[in-house]
C-alpha cells in the first residue's frame, strides 16, 4: 500500500435522516501528511488506496488516538476529543488531488483553502456543486431542507425559535475557520473556501467567495468573486466588483496585482497588473475600448482592455468631457508599444 497522501483530515459532521452528509467540520486538516501517520491509521480505518471518505466510530477514534501518540501529538489529541462525539465522524483521505466524488471530500478541500494551506486555483474543485447539498443553515446547525419544517415545529413546541440564517450550498467561513490576523465586519459575507490572507480587513459590504481571496494585507469593501485573488496591499473600494469564473468570466482567471486600487462602484473583467488604479464608477471588461495615453497624455492607440491585462502602473479613467475610457501611464509611446507586443 502506498503510504503517501495528498491530504488527510478527521472530521465531525451532520447527516440527514437518510444518512447523507450535509456538512463536515475538520478542525485540523493536513496537507501532505507524513507516511508514518498514514501507516498508523490505515489498518484501523481499513484504508488501502485512493480517495475515500470513511466513517468511523468513537471506539475507533480512541484506537486512532492511541496509534498516533508518538507519531502526531496534535492529531492524537484531536481524535481523543472526537471520541467524545455524539455526531457522526468521518476520516477523509485523498491520495491525489483529483475530481471530487463525495461531500466530505468537497468540505476538506474548502477547509484547505480557508486554512491557507492551499491558495485559490491550487486545487481541483471539478464537480463540487452537485456534492454540496442546499442546506438550511440555522441556529441549530445544518438541516436538510426536506426536514426543516418538522424541526421548526419541534422547536416551537419546546418554546424555542429555530432561526434560519441562509439557504445555500456553502456555509459561512467563520463557522469553520477563523484565520489569524484578519478583521471581518460581517461574517456572513465570507463563504467557506475563501482564502483570507493575514492583515486583510473585510468591511461590511465586502464579500469573498470560495476559491477566491486575498494575499493580505489589504482592504476589501467590494466583491471578490469566485476564482479572483487579490495581491498584497490592494484596496477594493465600496461596492466595487470583480468578475469571477461563475459570473460570465468563463475560464479567464481574474487577478488583482499588488498595490492596486479599484474605486467605489467600479469593476474589472480583466486581470490587473501591479499598481493599477480603476476610477470610481468605471467598469472595465475585456472588450472595453480604451484610449491608451502615454506619459505626455498623447494618444498612442485605441485598444481593447484585454490587451492591457496584467500590465503594471496603469490608471483607468473615463474622460469627463467625451465619456471615452482612457488608460494613462508614465511610460513613453515606445515603451507602451513594446509592452503591448510582448503581451501579445
Q: Mark whether 18 is an active-site residue.
A: no
User: What is the residue-wise DSSP string for 101-119?
Assistant: -SHHHHHHHHHHHHTTSS-
**Does residue 81 have a known ligand-binding role?**
no
**Does residue 223 have a known ligand-binding role?**
yes
Cell 466595487 belongs to 240
Q: What is the CA radius of gyration of the chain?
A: 24
**Does residue 289 have a known ligand-binding role?**
no
**Does residue 198 have a known ligand-binding role?**
no
Query: Three cell numbers at 275?
Result: 499598481
**Does residue 310 have a known ligand-binding role?**
no
Query: What SS3 string covers 247-274?
Result: CCCCCCCCEECCCCEECCCCEECCCECC
Cell 469593476 belongs to 267
Query: Three cell numbers at 282?
Result: 468605471
**Does residue 279 have a known ligand-binding role?**
yes
**Does residue 189 have a known ligand-binding role?**
no
56 touches 94 (CB < 8 A): no
**Does residue 266 have a known ligand-binding role?**
no
**Does residue 287 have a known ligand-binding role?**
yes
Of 23, 105, 215, 221, which residue is the catalytic one? 221
Query: Three cell numbers at 243?
Result: 468578475
- Whether a cis peptide bond, with omega within 30° of 0, leads into 217 is yes
CA-nearest of 37, 9, 7 to 177 is: 9
**Does residue 19 have a known ligand-binding role?**
no
Cβ neighbours around 200 below 10 Å, total? 26
**Does residue 264 have a known ligand-binding role?**
yes
Query: Three cell numbers at 209?
Result: 467567495
Query: Three cell numbers at 288?
Result: 472595453
CA angle 197, 198, 201 (to 5 degrees): 85
**Numbered residues of the known binding site for succinyl-CoA:** 223, 238, 241, 264, 279-280, 287, 304, 317-320
**Numbered residues of the known binding site for Mg(2+):** 205
**Numbered residues of the known binding site:** 205, 223, 238, 241, 264, 279-280, 287, 304, 317-320
User: Which residues does the annotation mark as catalytic?
Assistant: 221
Amino acid at each position: 500500500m502506498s503510504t503517501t497522501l495528498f491530504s488527510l483530515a478527521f472530521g465531525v459532521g451532520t447527516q440527514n435522516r437518510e444518512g447523507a452528509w450535509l456538512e463536515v467540520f475538520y478542525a485540523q486538516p493536513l496537507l501532505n501528511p507524513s507516511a508514518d501517520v498514514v501507516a498508523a491509521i490505515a489498518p484501523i480505518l481499513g484504508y488501502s488506496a485512493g480517495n475515500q471518505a470513511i466513517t468511523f466510530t468513537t471506539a475507533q477514534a480512541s484506537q486512532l488516538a492511541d496509534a498516533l501518540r508518538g507519531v502526531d501529538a496534535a492529531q492524537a489529541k484531536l481524535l481523543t476529543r472526537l471520541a467524545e462525539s455524539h455526531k457522526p465522524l468521518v476520516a477523509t483521505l485523498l491520495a491525489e488531488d483529483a475530481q471530487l466524488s463525495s461531500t466530505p471530500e468537497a468540505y476538506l478541500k474548502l477547509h484547505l483553502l480557508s486554512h491557507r494551506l492551499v491558495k485559490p486555483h491550487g486545487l481541483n474543485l471539478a464537480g463540487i456543486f452537485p456534492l454540496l447539498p442546499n442546506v438550511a443553515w440555522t441556529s441549530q446547525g445544518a438541516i436538510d431542507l426536506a426536514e426543516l419544517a418538522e424541526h421548526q415545529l419541534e422547536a416551537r413546541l419546546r418554546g424555542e425559535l429555530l432561526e434560519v440564517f441562509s439557504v445555500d450550498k456553502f456555509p459561512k467561513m467563520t463557522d469553520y475557520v477563523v484565520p489569524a490576523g484578519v478583521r471581518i465586519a460581517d461574517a456572513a459575507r465570507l463563504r467557506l473556501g475563501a482564502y483570507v490572507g493575514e492583515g486583510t480587513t473585510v468591511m461590511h459590504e465586502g464579500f469573498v467567495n470560495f476559491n477566491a481571496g486575498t494575499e493580505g494585507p489589504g482592504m476589501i469593501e467590494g466583491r471578490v468573486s469566485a476564482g479572483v485573488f487579490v495581491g498584497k496591499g490592494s484596496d477594493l473600494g465600496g461596492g466595487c466588483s470583480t468578475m469571477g469564473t461563475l459570473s460570465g468570466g468563463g475560464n479567464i482567471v481574474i487577478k488583482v496585482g499588488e498595490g492596486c486600487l479599484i474605486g467605489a462602484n467600479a469593476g474589472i473583467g480583466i486581470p490587473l497588473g501591479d499598481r493599477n488604479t480603476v476610477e470610481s464608477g468605471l467598469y472595465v471588461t475585456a472588450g472595453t475600448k480604451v484610449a491608451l495615453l502615454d506619459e505626455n497624455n498623447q494618444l498612442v492607440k485605441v485598444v481593447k482592455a484585454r490587451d492591457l491585462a496584467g500590465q503594471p502602473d496603469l490608471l483607468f479613467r473615463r474622460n469627463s468631457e467625451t465619456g471615452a475610457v482612457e488608460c494613462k501611464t508614465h511610460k513613453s509611446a515606445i515603451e507602451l508599444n513594446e509592452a503591448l507586443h510582448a503581451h501579445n
